[in-house]
Amino acid sequence: MKSTILYIFIFITNLSLAQNYHVFNENDWTGKWKGSLKILYPSKVQDVPMLLEISRTDAPGKYIWFSKYGEGSTTLSKEYIMEVKEESKGSWILDEGNTILIDMYYTDNCFYSSFEVQKSILNTSYRLEGGKLCFEVLSSKSDSPNITGKNEGELSEVKSYPVYVVQRAVLIKE
């Protein structure tokens, strides 16, 4: 009997903890975040100033994500809308404002996405960690996978997409 009660307690505790993994705390995320974006190519590293400003809108569950890279004449900036689709499942949408919608998955203080554009697969993450916002993009070519394994029995064919560039930034809230 004691073990049954213990199992029920553990199950309920785990269930309630799992539900908290998708809760977005806007006070932690909103604000102006600054830092340097490192672009790590196989043969060189490039540093680019980066700004990410996350702000509330009048609509609940919608946030403006304004990003700016570079300085002066080499500045690239873009305003997106980040919108919760189904918070209990961690489902969000990043709206680029030009008919492009990127599915985002939010869990444990991190937004994740994976998408393909112009024969490149991009895996992104925005993670809050220790009061800092860590941003990362891994880029792979979608048209040149390494294919290994066998497509028979229990051993499946596996396609591996080598990463050819990494972009990484640690941003501090102003």
| Per-chain mean pLDDT for the chain | 90
- Can you give the pLDDT at residue 8? 55
- Can you give the pLDDT at residue 2? 52
**Which tokens sit at 91?**
């489902």
The model's pLDDT over 6-46, given as tens digits with 9 standing for 90+, comes to 455 455 455 444 557 899 999 999 999 999 999 999 999 99
Ranking 15-24, 82-91, 101-110, 115-124 by mean pLDDT, the lowest is 15-24
- Residue predicted with more confidence, 12 or 87: 87
What are the residue boundaries of the structural domains of the chain, listed by start?
2-173
pLDDT exceeds 60 at position 4? no
The model's pLDDT over 93-110, given as tens digits with 9 standing for 90+, comes to 999 999 999 999 999 999
pTM of the model: 0.85
* Topology given in CATH for the domain delimited by 2-173: Lipocalin (2.40.128)
